[in-house]
Every structure is written in C-alpha cells, then in structure tokens.
Amino acid sequence: MSSLDSEAKPDNAGHSVLALTTSHSLVVSSSETFLPDMRKELGIIADLVESYNDELCLLKHMAVQFKTALLNKSNFC
C-alpha cells in the first residue's frame, strides 16, 4: 500500500466498510459511523496542528533571542 490507500469492502452484515491506511494509523469505519469518526480524526489533527504551531512560534522566538544575544556578544568583543 502507498502512504495513503483506502478500500471499500462489504462486511459480514452486508454494509460497506471503509478502511483508510496511512503511514501512522488505520481507520476502519462503516457508513453509519464514517462522518463521526472522520470528525473525531479531524479534531485530533487540528489539535496536533495547533500544538505544532505553538511550538513553532516558541522556537522562532527563541531563535531571535539567540541571534540577538550572539550579535550583542560580537559587538562587545
């Protein structure tokens, strides 16, 4: 399978089941639970993106502080 593949196969009860495989997870959902499951997954992804953005902002701020400290140190030598 590639990094993102999906298959729709009937289950034993005759319902269609969607299986989505990514490099990090496997999501199996029936037609009745597909939308709620996807909303939950999207919520998890949104939380991860928000956390990543917060950490990225902090790292950028720290980089500016280090660059400023290095410039100030080189000006006094």
Which has the higher per-residue pLDDT, 44 or 9? Answer: 44
Assign 68 a pLDDT band (cuts: 50, 70, 90).
Answer: very high
Residues whose CB is less than 8 angstroms from the CB of residue 41 and which lie 6 or more positions away in sequence, other chains included: 27
- Lowest average pLDDT, out of 7-11, 38-42, 64-68, goes to 7-11
pLDDT digits (tens, 9 = 90+) for 12-53: 555 655 555 556 666 566 778 888 889 999 999 999 999 999
Which has the higher per-residue pLDDT, 55 or 31? Answer: 55
Q: pTM of the prediction? A: 0.50
The domain segmentation of the chain, as residue ranges, is: 1-32, 34-77
| Cβ pair 52, 59 in contact under 8 A | no
